[in-house]
Structure 1
Amino acid sequence: MIETLAQILAGLGLFFAGLELLSANLRGMTSRRFQRAVGGWTATPGKGFAWGALAGALTQSSAVVTFIVVGLLVAGMTVVVRGLPLIVGSNLGAGALLFIVSLDFGPAVLVLTGLVGLGVTIERLRPWRQGLWALFGIALLFVGLSLLKEGTAPLADSETVRSLLESTAGSHLLAFLIGAVLTVVVNSSVAIGVLSMSLMASGVLSFETTAMVIYGTNLGSSATTYLLSMKLRGEARQLAMYQVAFNVVGCLVFLPLFFIETMTSLPLSLALLEWLSDDPATRVAWAYLLFNASAALLLMPTLGPSARLLGRLWPRTPAEDLARPAFIGDFALQDPDLAIELTAREHHRIFQAVADLLAPLAEAGAGPAQGARPADAEAPRALLRATDGFLEDLGRLTMSAGQLGRYYRRIEAQRHLESLTDDVARFTATVEKLLASDGGRHLGQLLGDSLHAILHTCAEALAREATAEDRAFALDVTTDRGPAIRSVRESYLGERSETDDAEQAATMLAGISLFERVIWQAHALVAQQAEEAEDGAQESLRAAPSASAAASAGTQA
């Protein structure tokens, strides 16, 4: 019993670790070529469905494919409406499970895990390391599910499970419910399907009862996906719930057909299965496949409405909204001036988001010690990856000398924002430690409040509609504050004896140093914006006489 529980716990741990590893490394694969390849795979519903079916057939698990698509979504490589056909196709591909149930992919998964694990340690493969780690995450998904199945396998062979299935004789609805429950407990619809087929072959179950068990295993599979997705939020949850809804739709189709046929003797689904094969076991496999095919036929034409409904039921989180570009897009690449301007506006959004990371630290009386925690920096980082790829595409266009000058300013701003985001993330973690200690709380509150106010002053100055006075004020508050910083450092660290807490002293020093670095980055960004605004004003002045002369010539003509 202890070994079974240990395997189940290890399987769950490896499953969630694999999902996190997959998502994190896909986020880091910012190559535009790779992103476009993923976009090409899902460019049309037909392509998405075909790739999903192939993935479902190869992985033998629609749940695994669903969570791989969740990883692509979290990495920003696809959107919900393009991920839905992949999920639909994976169910149909996995519908062939009972036809190939004798195949065992367990050794192949272990070999894959070992080879990829060795691959990430080879120096020559460093350029492909993130891809290898993402593949390792997929392997861990399989290993985790495999451990779950191994841990629960004794349950499928137990007398209790067999007795439960045997007790369904004569009660079709009970057979359906027991099939669903056993699938959740055993975590394998195939195991319950095969067991019910063997009981049918021995005459314990009728064909009708076995078909209902198979329908129940599909609902149980959805319940398992629901349980595994409870940690997900926003669009990731939408995809998981679509997988749940897929099997619910199949049940809504086949359960009424089954009861109508058994009550009225009208030839419907059972008659079709008998026509397809004379072999009872093959009929059950066809029942599994047709269940998924029917749900796919119903859901494929409704992808758009389904995505909108999912969006209303499980709306995007604020972090997901922030992580998606609001201005840039491929449409802007037709006009370099427009693309540069929109990138500047996106950069301002990123700066504002980074400044907001400090908001929990700056709330009066709040801090990690009182329960407030700094926001996650992943959203601005995702937006930075998007702007970096957009700037890469923009750099391939032919531009004038003036456009190139503004373009390289955006490149410089991009690098400053990347460093700023990392520094602010480290600063919030450091201040969080200070706020959690008695000796460092006052300094932590001082640093957090001050930097929050300074960054929001800079955010106002970086807005496209900011005035010269706004920029001048921001430059003034971020100018070299060496004497003031030294005063703060001496106040908190200058008179500390050697017996004081060395770790806390190091944390204080790190917080003050990061405070200086963040202010320097903010000053550089505001100074760049001021320079850009001044150049734009001078260019407008030079253009004004030419426009007046042109207008005068037109009047004389």
Structure 2
Amino acid sequence: METNNFDFWQFLAGIGLFLWGMHQLETAVKEMAGKSFRHLLQKFTNTPIKGISVGALITAILQSSSLVTLMVLAFLGAGVISLKNSIGVILGANLGTTATAWIVATLGFKLSVASFSMPFLGFGSLFYLFFSSRPMLRNIGMFSVGFGLLFLGLDFMKTAIEEVADQIDLSTFQAYGLWVYLLLGVVITALIQSSSAMIVIVLSAMSADIITLTEGVTLILGAKIGTTITVSLGALGGNADKKRLALAHFSFNMVTGLFVFSFVEHLIAFTTRIFDITDPLMELVLLNSIVSLTGILLFFPFLSAFEKWLNSRFTKDEPQGFSVYTKKVSVEVPEAAIAAMEKDIYLTYQKTINFIANIWKAGDISKSNLSIWRKILLQPKDLNQSYQELKSLEDELTAYHLQLLGQHMQPQEAQKLTSLMLTLRTLIYAAKDIKDVMHNIREMEEDEGKLVMYFYKEIKSYSFDFITELNKHIEKIDESNGLPRWLAHNEGVYNHWIAELYQKNQEEELDYPISTLTNVMKQVISSMDNLSSAVIHWKYQKKEVIDTD
């Protein structure tokens, strides 16, 4: 009797083709509808329930929980979605990955797999090669190639296992109990870095009658734990958010896997009786989905407490720098990166107006009747240091902008990014304008002349009033029909001050350099002009400038 040897290379080629097919499918769907999925993830994850639903849907279509995790990390870092809702997406993604098993079990073991894959490989390759200049047709070709490779790889694995099925004796493993299958599932999945490929291996082994349903389900439980090892290793060098999500993913799969393992045989008996499924392969994929649903039911009531616990972890791994959002977001997801940029631009705006306000307020302490020691303790922080922090923030955001330029963006995204960078530069100009006359403002504060003090109070009052109105306008900007005309009044105010200065100087000669006073006026007006220009670049890229007063 001829003995068949296990063709290891055919089996390995099967795994490779399957994984490559998955990668091609992921890339094609990402290119065709990636923006739509990112928009869906961004807009419809404001509650954990929605997060679970959207996570399951996107993962089922993209067939890639790693890609969904990347999106979640990006939007989490940008502050678009909370950690609690991000966990919900991860829970849903675990359920979405079970769609692969349903497809493979339904088609891969019911048809002639190799023959089934050939049309997809043939037409897909031709589309990809001959329509390379037409992105949609090229991506359809890539999708077809990926689909064909997935099933061709399945055929290779199935054939390699079936040829030696009669020669494999697992009685030795069975003697040790189900624990050995759980560990095998963990180890093999960690090595091949794909729970989907592990499920195909298990389905092939069950189809060849090498393992029973109970052993197959146990291997799947091990695979769910093993797949977290890849994510955990990838998070080792990441920031705090990445480590928290990796820990959430690990906790979910570990707790769920061990919990279901404790009564796996009872669960199999129960589902077999309730659903009356005679095909063990379909029973396996059903149980695979039930395990993920069980995990969701286990964790969902405790998401708030789980979020609080995760937030207390990895606090030392928070990214360094003056930015708050961009340092947490990968530029690989442009929508999230631009959202993070806009939030950090708003942070820059707040820091700029605080810097300007602190320059004017600093003199109030020195004019008070406080004791010398209390004056020292109440002095504001070093204003030069505040300005250097603003410059450092500008450098961080500029470097991030350069990285983002290397990504594929839609025209409106590129326009938005350009507007944000113009906003950033004009904000820094606004801070520099007033920093350059900071020492003159201090001299005016100390001057005893009534006329100097009059203009000091006029300029200071105008600065605060302008910033106050600007803040009010930003808060209600969505209700506004356009740019209010008062933002362009700075030149008129400057001319009024100059005229008033020379008139009053004729009445009462100043014992203070007029050129210094006019320079302070010019720089303060320039600072206010730059603040208003920043708002125009930021908020009015596509709006008409009309009077709303």
What TM-score comes out, normalization by structure 1 length? 0.49
Q: Which has the higher contact order (CA 8 A, sep 6+)?
A: 2
> TM-score, normalised to structure 2's length?
0.49
Structure with the greater alpha carbon radius of gyration: 2
